Amino acid sequence: MLTSSPMEQLDTLLELSIADFDIPDDVRRVAEQRYRHVGDWLADYYDGNAADGVIYPQGSFLLGTVVQPISHNGEYDIDLVCRRDLLKASVTQAELKQSVGDALHSYVATAPAGTPTQDEGKRCWTLDYPREPFHMDVLPAIPDAEATPNAILITDRALRNWQHSNPLDYAKWFEGRMAREFAEARAVLAKRMDVDDVPTWNVKTTLQRTVQALKRHRDLYFEQRPDDRPASIIITTLAARAYQGAGDLNEVLVDTTSRMAALIERREGVWWVPNPIREKENFADRWEERPTRAEAFFRWIEQAQTDFAGFGADAGVDRVVGKLAKSFGERAAKYAGSTYATSLSETRDRGKLGMAVGTGMLGAASKGKPAIPSHTFHGDPED
């Protein structure tokens, strides 16, 4: 964790800040256990039924870009798809939603691990886990016969018009954008952990961290105006398209953010953020319903670019932490600062802390850096 240059120090503090609002490994493991249990139970529930239900994750949980909400009790939102293998002509949206709701009701009645309760939303069902820091939104879906094999049709909020979606192929596209960096990062982690099979969620690329940083900055920026908040799918798509490849985290964050606005298209007077796997689908279609959303996006992304570019303007942990607090919140910034300081202290106590000759930058002792001795309880150097 310790660094020997301002850029390395900045990247470390950035990574620590983002880690604070990322989903912790232990929480993710439990969430994965819970949704797999739901899926296994539904498989038995639908056993022998040709229209069986298949459960799989979508959105940020699948992409590795989860961010803890700053509201709603800070619960992580786990998005799942429950796909029934039914023909579009054989079922209405209301019937589809009810069938999935009935199955989940039966599941909850078995008092499974976590003792979830069930709530109904406009287009999905929610499993609330009272003793866990997350809930699961289960979205009913059927196959989209016009775009097999992974495309699906989902219900709209009014339960009238089928909506097109394809979270699995979108995830493949997103992963493809960062494939080289992901493979390199996974290889490094595998070597350090001395294991061959490193879980994919254990690897974080600069693209994933950039998306998380943007989402947290957005949540704070629009905290008082949630209706103008740009959707995560818009941020994720633009960031992935703007991403130019591996590099230092701060460099990637600044460069990616600076390119995003120019990727928004204008088609016959309509703002467009096309779905990369379905060009006819516009992720920004709701901007037409509320034109202020487009204006708000451009103002926000400009502010994000300014804030991110300012991270490296000044040296010193305290100054960087102060700027991180503005973009990511006080808690994330304090976590980064305190964790970094603790690591410095522990390394110093092991006699490995050094100061780069001529720079004054603290870091791990190495050639050209005089070691700073550990201290005894009385403050004298140890022998």
Which of the pair, 74 or 168, is modelled with greater confidence?
Answer: 168
Q: What is the mean pLDDT of residues 270-293?
A: 92
Residue ranges of alpha helices (H) inside the chain are: 6-21, 25-45, 60-63, 93-109, 167-177, 179-193, 206-221, 232-242, 249-260, 286-289, 292-309, 317-328, 330-349
Reported pTM = 0.85
A 10 A CB-CB count for 171 gives: 19
Domain ranges of the chain: 6-22+172-264+291-318+321-326, 25-165, 352-383
The string of DSSP codes covering 231-272 is PHHHHHHHHHHH------HHHHHHHHHHHHGGG-EEETTEEE
pLDDT at 3 over 60: no
Confidence of residue 351 (pLDDT cuts 50, 70, 90): low
Superfamily name with CATH number, domain 25-165: Beta Polymerase, domain 2 (3.30.460.10)
Q: Work out the mean pLDDT of the chain and round it to a whole number.
A: 85
Nearest Cα to Cα of residue 114 among 13, 15, 208, 41: 41
Q: C-alpha distances in angstroms, 372 versus 147, 170, 244, 344, 352? A: 64, 51, 40, 11, 7
What residues contact 193, with CB distance under 8 A and at least 6 apart? Answer: none
In this prediction, residue 370 carries a pLDDT of 32
Q: Where residue 153 falls among pLDDT bands split at 50, 70, 90?
A: very high
Residue 43 has pLDDT above 50, yes or no: yes
337-365 burial, b for 16+ CB within 10 Å, e for fewer? Answer: bebbeebbeebbeeebbbbbeeeebbbbb
Distance CA 322, CA 333 (A): 7
HSE (CB half, 13 Å, CA atoms) of 199? 8
Q: Which two tokens stand for residue 84?
A: 């029934």
Q: Which percentage of the chain shows pLDDT scores above 70?
A: 83
Is pLDDT above 50 for 367?
no
Residue 144 carries which side chain, given as an amino acid letter? D
- 220-229, 267-276, 318-327, 346-355: least confidently modelled range: 346-355
Local confidence band at 2 (pLDDT 50, 70, 90 cut-offs): low
Q: Lowest-pLDDT range, 124-128, 171-175, 274-278, 377-381? A: 377-381
69 with 77: CB under 8 angstroms?
Answer: yes
pLDDT at 371 over 90: no
With bands split at pLDDT 50, 70 and 90, how would you rate the model's confidence at 227?
very high
User: Is the Cβ–Cβ distance between 247 and 10 less than 8 Å?
Assistant: no
pLDDT at 194: 53
Which one has a higher pLDDT value, 56 or 363? 56
Residue 147 has pLDDT above 70, yes or no: yes
